[in-house]
Structure 1
Amino acid sequence: MKPSDWRFAIGILELAFRSVAGENSRDWFTLANHLGQPSRALAHEIHEHLRQLRELEPRSKEADRVLGLLDDLALPDMLQYFRETTSEEDPRPTDIREGWCHVLWSHETPDRFLVGAVHGTPLEVVSVLDRRTPGACHGVLAAWHVDDPDWAASQIVRTFGRSLDQLGLMQLSASEGIPAIKMLTENAIWKTIVKSPWHAEAVEPSQDDLATDDNFAASGPAM
């Protein structure tokens, strides 16, 4: 492989995992879903190794060392998973989640967050909100895959003492910010968060890391 081809290929992967780690685009969720839902922390570690690998000679000992680290982090398995889920001949289903808890934002109400848990993906909810208010722009600030969105929703109501609207959302003031998100992860949904297939203890995000999620962006459909 030519060095230029090597750098180009590694650069593509680096950007992909940076997107998942930071949930910094509306397509992060779809991408993450096709990779098997790596955690933000895991995606960030892979991104850092890929960034380093892009600057190395393909056949160098240091490149071999970094490739070994990426192998330990399940990167080959994630890429194979991506290949299978995007195959036209025999696509693997990616609907591995029952629901999502999310924190959304709108440029129309910068002083408010929309918080909820629903059957479906954050981007599906964003699409509904965008259709309801043409010209508005909504996005995903944070999102967590949960195995029981109904239970998570009931705990959100219990935690904040407010009702949900027809879409399963409630408004929280931006001034509540990170403390509100910490209440979600530590009280309302922590026990129902689903770990990704590639979840590794070595890079498992702490509750504080999850609370400051976004990576999100997302983030979200997908994977």
Structure 2
Amino acid sequence: MHVKPSDWRFAATTLEVAFRSVAGESTRDWFTLADHLGQPSRALAHEIYENLKELKELDPRSKAAGHILGQMDELAFPDMLQNFRETTSQDEPRPTDIREGWCHVLWSHNMPDRALVGAVHGTPLEVVSVLNRWTPGTCYGVLAAWHVEDPDWAAAQIVRTFGQPLDQLGLMPVPASGGLPRMKLLTENAIWKTIVKSPWHVEAAEPSHDDVACADQHGAVEPTR
């Protein structure tokens, strides 16, 4: 991290918030942020977030800071930052589109009591774009998304799990009264065999309910605009 000592804490805090957002899937348009970072898993993003939270309190020239940076190097943290830089460069941005397919949970402000669950070829943002064109003035957003190897199989499992047909965009409205954690649990149970691991996947503990709740307090889900 090439930053001035005077900017150390600000830079570390900014990165901490970014990885907390990916780990908690709780802030506005977290999917796009994760996409630019190279799709780190929630567990991996949470581990990096914990390291950054500790790192910002240390002297950047200290041995302790060097130790944490070494750990983060093993977690592919520098590669993720480079991936973000390349995909957001104003001169030659590198596309991040992954074509295999995604399973996702979408939200719409005109259906606060329902969420849209589906699996399609392409990305959730493409589905959101189509929905926004079809219904001008209505905002949709991505609540959760999982990269899947076989979206057709995943869609069939969702139909079997929820017992309803999908519409022409591969979406199914389901009650949101149970909350996002329940929705995600059902969806992950339906598609777990086909979820693709992140490029920098590591075996790490998933964030605890307390950690995710803390992340939610710092940024409520909002629709993509």
Name the TM tier (shorter chain).
0.7 to 0.9
**Which residue of 115, 121, 124 corresponds with 1:122?**
124
Alpha carbons of structure 1 residues 179 and 202: separation in structure 2 relative to 1, 3 Å = closer
Quote the Cα distance in structure 2 between the aligned partners of 1:107 and 1:89. 35
Structure 1 length as normaliser, TM-score? 0.82
What stretches of structure 2 of length at least 5 have no aligned partner? none
**Which residue of 85, 107, 110 corresponds with 1:108?**
110
Alpha carbons of structure 1 residues 181 and 28: separation in structure 2 relative to 1, 3 Å = closer
SS at the partner of 1:202?
coil
Superposed counterparts of 1:179-198, under 5 Å: 179-186=182-189, 188-198=190-200
Q: Is the 8 A contact 1:23 1:219 kept in 2?
A: no
Quote the Cα distance in structure 2 between the aligned partners of 1:170 and 1:69. 42
Superposed counterparts of 1:79-94, under 5 Å: 79-87=81-89, 92-94=94-96
Q: Deviations over 1:49-68 (max 9, x none)?
A: 11221121111122112112
Q: Is the 8 A contact 2:140 2:223 kept in 1?
A: no
Quote the Cα distance in structure 2 between the aligned partners of 1:156 and 1:71. 38
Structure 2 length as normaliser, TM-score? 0.81
Q: Deviations over 1:6-48 (max 9, x none)?
A: 2232233222212222333344222212221101121122112
Count of residues in Structure 1 that have an aligned counterpart in Structure 2 = 213
Superposed counterparts of 1:14-163, under 5 Å: 14-87=16-89, 92-163=94-165
Q: What is the deviation of 1:88? A: 5.9
Quote the Cα distance in structure 2 between the aligned partners of 1:108 and 1:2. 46
Q: Is the 8 A contact 1:29 1:218 kept in 2?
A: no
After superposition, the CA RMSD in angstroms is 2.8
Bigger RCO (CA 8 Å, 6+ sep): 1
What stretches of structure 1 of length at least 5 have no aligned partner? none
Alpha carbons of structure 1 residues 80 and 191: separation in structure 2 relative to 1, 3 Å = same
